[in-house]
C-alpha cells in the first residue's frame, strides 16, 4: 500500500473556523489518494448550503460528507485510473468533532476521564459481517486468496479485484459495491477536551486503540504521534502503513498541553486502566455519554445513499428555484432530476417525487453501488 507523503497528509486549514486533519492510505498506486487529498475537501464544502450559521453548518456536515465522498469517487473513476484509497476525514470545530471514513484508517478519541472510544468503524471484509452481507447481496463474491493446491490464505477479499476493504474511494477495477459512502460520527466533547489519534492500518494491526492511547499520554501531540508509531513498530516490527496524526482539543485558556511527566502518569494509568476493556466502541460511547464527557450528536454508517441523503428537500426548487444534484451539485432542469428515493425499496415511506434529487449520472452510480446494474456498465 502507498501512503500520500507525510507533508501532504497534514493539513491545517485556516478556513473560517474549523480545523481539519485527514489520512488517505492508497493502494494499487497513489493516484486515488492524491486525487482525494486535492478534491475531497472542496467537494464536501460545495455540498453545504451557503449562508448557514455555525450550528446549522455543523448539522449539515454529515450529509455533505456523504455527497463529497461520492462525488470524489465518481470523478476519480471517470479518469479511468485503477488505484484506490482509504479516507479518514476529521473536522474539529471547538468541541464538536466530526469524523467521516471509508476503509480502515481508524480515528480514536481519548478523553481526560481516561476512556478510549472509536469514532470510525473498520470497513474490512474480514472483520465486518454486515459489510460482507451487503457486498454479497450486491453481487460481489467474498473469499480468500486461493493458492496452488486450493489452500486458502490471507484475509477475506472481495472478488473480482481482491480488495480486503468493503469501502474506499476509487477502485474502479473492483465492483461498485465497494462504495465510497462514509461512516460518519459527530460528537461533542466536554470543556476539558480530548485527544484524537488518527492512524493507518499498519498501526492498528499492531496495537489496540487502548494501547495507542495509553502509549502517548502526557506527551505533546507531535511527539505523541511518533510514540504511537514507535509502539506499533516495536510490537510488530514492520514499517509500512504506519502513519499517525494526533490532535489535542484543549480549552483555549490552556493552550499548552498539560506537561504531566510520563512517570507520574503511570500511576494514574494503572488506576484507570487495570481492567482490560473488551467493550465495543458503542458501549464505551454510551458509558461516556452517561457521565457527561462526550455527547453523541450523530452516527450513521448505512451504505444506502437514499438513507444518507435523507428526505429533506432542501435542494428542491422551493429553495433556489432550481433543482440541484445532491451529490455532484450540478444544476438540473425540473425534468432532469431523479429523486434519490425513486424505485428504492429502502425508503417506502418517502415519495418518489420528493427530493433530494440526483442527476442521471449520479443516479446511475447509486444504482451501481446498490448492485442494481452490473458494475462498469453504463446505462445510456
Ligand atoms: Zn450528480
Ligand 1 centre and the CA of 311: distance in Å? 17
Taking the centre of ligand 1 as the mean of its atom positions, its distance from the CA of residue 317, in whole angstroms, is: 16
In the three-class reduction of DSSP (H, G, I as helix; E, B as strand; rest coil), residue 102 is classed as strand
Distance 194 CA to ligand 1 centre (A): 38
What are the pLDDT tens digits along the chain (380 aa)? 334 433 223 233 334 456 788 999 999 999 999 999 999 999 999 999 888 888 899 999 999 999 999 999 999 999 998 899 999 999 999 899 999 999 999 999 998 777 899 999 999 999 999 999 999 999 899 999 888 888 888 999 998 889 999 999 999 888 889 999 999 999 999 888 899 999 999 999 999 999 999 999 999 999 999 999 999 999 887 666 789 999 999 877 654 444 444 443 333 333 333 333 334 444 444 455 444 478 999 999 999 999 999 865 444 444 545 689 999 999 988 788 888 887 655 544 455 667 789 999 999 999 999 988 765 554 44
Q: With contact defined as beta carbons under 8 Å apart, do 330 and 315 qualify?
A: no
Closest C-alpha among 294, 246, 299 to residue 111: 294
Q: Compute, in angstroms, the gap from residue 354 CA to the centroid of ligand 1.
A: 16
How many angstroms does the Cα of residue 366 sit away from the middle of ligand 1? 10
Cell of 209: 486503540
Task: Determine the distance separating the centroid of ligand 1 and the alpha carbon of 208, expressed in angstroms.
Answer: 39
Query: Measured in angstroms, how far is the CA atom of residue 94 from the centroid of ligand 1?
Result: 32
∠ at Cα 107 (103, 113), nearest 5°?
A: 155
Rounded distance from Cα 249 to ligand 1 centre (Å): 36
What separation in Å is there between the alpha carbon of 39 and the centre of ligand 1? 16
Cell of 319: 429553495
- Identify whether the C-beta of residue 369 lies closer than 8 Å to the C-beta of residue 359: no
Q: Please state the φ and ψ torsions of residue 307, each to the nearest 5 degrees.
A: -70, -30
For 117, the grid coordinates are 472510544
| Residue 380 Cα to ligand 1 middle (Å) | 15
Tell how far the Cα of 297 is from the centroid of ligand 1, in angstroms: 28
**Domains annotated on the chain, with CATH:** 2-126+179-300 (3.60.40.10), 305-369 (no CATH)
Q: What's the gap in Å between 18 CA and the centre of ligand 1?
A: 27
Regarding beta strands 294-300 and 323-324, do their DSSP bridges make them parallel or antiparallel, or are they unpaired? Answer: unpaired
Non-local (6+) Cβ contacts of 90 within 8 A are 20, 21, 22, 97, 98, 99, 107, 119, 196, 198, 247
Ligand 1 centroid from CA 31, angstroms: 22
- 269: CA distance to ligand 1 center in Å? 50
Distance 65 CA to ligand 1 centre (A): 15
Tell how far the Cα of 170 is from the centroid of ligand 1, in angstroms: 17
Amino acid at each position: 500500500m502507498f501512503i500520500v507523503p507525510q507533508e501532504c497528509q497534514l493539513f491545517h486549514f485556516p478556513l473560517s473556523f474549523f480545523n481539519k486533519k485527514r489520512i488517505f492510505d492508497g493502494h494499487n498506486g497513489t493516484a486515488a489518494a492524491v486525487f482525494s487529498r486535492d478534491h475531497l475537501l472542496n467537494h464536501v464544502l460545495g455540498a453545504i448550503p451557503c449562508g448557514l450559521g455555525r450550528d446549522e453548518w455543523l448539522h449539515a456536515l454529515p450529509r455533505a460528507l456523504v455527497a463529497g465522498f461520492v462525488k470524489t469517487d465518481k470523478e476519480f473513476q471517470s479518469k479511468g485510473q485503477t488505484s484506490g484509497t482509504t479516507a479518514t476525514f476529521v473536522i474539529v470545530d471547538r468541541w464538536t468533532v466530526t469524523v467521516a471514513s471509508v476503509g480502515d484508517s481508524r480515528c480514536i478519541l481519548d478523553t481526560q476521564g481516561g476512556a478510549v472510544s472509536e469514532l470510525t468503524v473498520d470497513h474490512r471484509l474480514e472483520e465486518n459481517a454486515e459489510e460482507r452481507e451487503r457486498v454479497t447481496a450486491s453481487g460481489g463474491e467474498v473469499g480468500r486468496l486461493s493458492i496452488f493446491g486450493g489452500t486458502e490464505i490471507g484475509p477475506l477479499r472481495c472478488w473480482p479485484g481482491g480488495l480486503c476493504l468493503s469501502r474506499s474511494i476509487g477502485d474502479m477495477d473492483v465492483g461498485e459495491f465497494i462504495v465510497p459512502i462514509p461512516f460518519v460520527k459527530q460528537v461533542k466533547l466536554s470543556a476539558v477536551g480530548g485527544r484524537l489519534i488518527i492512524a493507518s492500518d499498519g498501526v492498528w494491526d499492531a496495537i489496540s486503540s487502548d494501547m495507542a492511547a495509553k502509549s502517548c499520554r502526557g506527551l505533546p501531540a507531535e511527539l505523541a504521534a511518533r510514540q504511537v508509531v514507535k509502539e506499533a513498530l516495536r510490537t510488530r516490527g514492520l514499517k509500512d502503513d504506519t502513519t499517525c496524526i494526533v490532535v489535542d482539543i484543549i480549552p483555549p485558556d490552556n493552550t499548552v498541553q498539560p506537561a504531566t511527566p510520563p512517570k507520574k502518569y503511570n500511576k494514574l494509568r494503572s488506576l484507570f486502566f487495570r481492567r482490560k476493556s473488551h467493550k465495543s466502541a458503542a458501549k464505551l460511547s454510551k458509558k461516556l455519554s452517561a457521565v457527561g464527557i462526550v455527547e453523541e450528536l450523530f452516527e450513521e454508517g448505512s451504505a444506502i445513499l437514499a438513507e444518507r441523503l435523507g428526505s429533506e428537500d432542501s435542494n428542491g426548487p422551493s429553495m433556489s428555484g432550481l433543482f440541484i444534484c445532491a451529490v455532484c451539485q450540478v444544476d438540473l432542469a425540473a425534468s432532469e432530476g431523479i429523486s434519490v428515493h425513486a424505485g428504492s425499496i429502502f425508503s417506502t415511506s418517502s415519495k418518489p417525487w420528493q427530493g433530494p434529487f440526483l442527476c442521471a449520472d449520479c443516479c446511475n452510480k447509486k444504482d451501481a453501488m446498490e448492485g442494481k446494474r452490473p458494475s462498469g456498465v453504463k446505462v445510456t
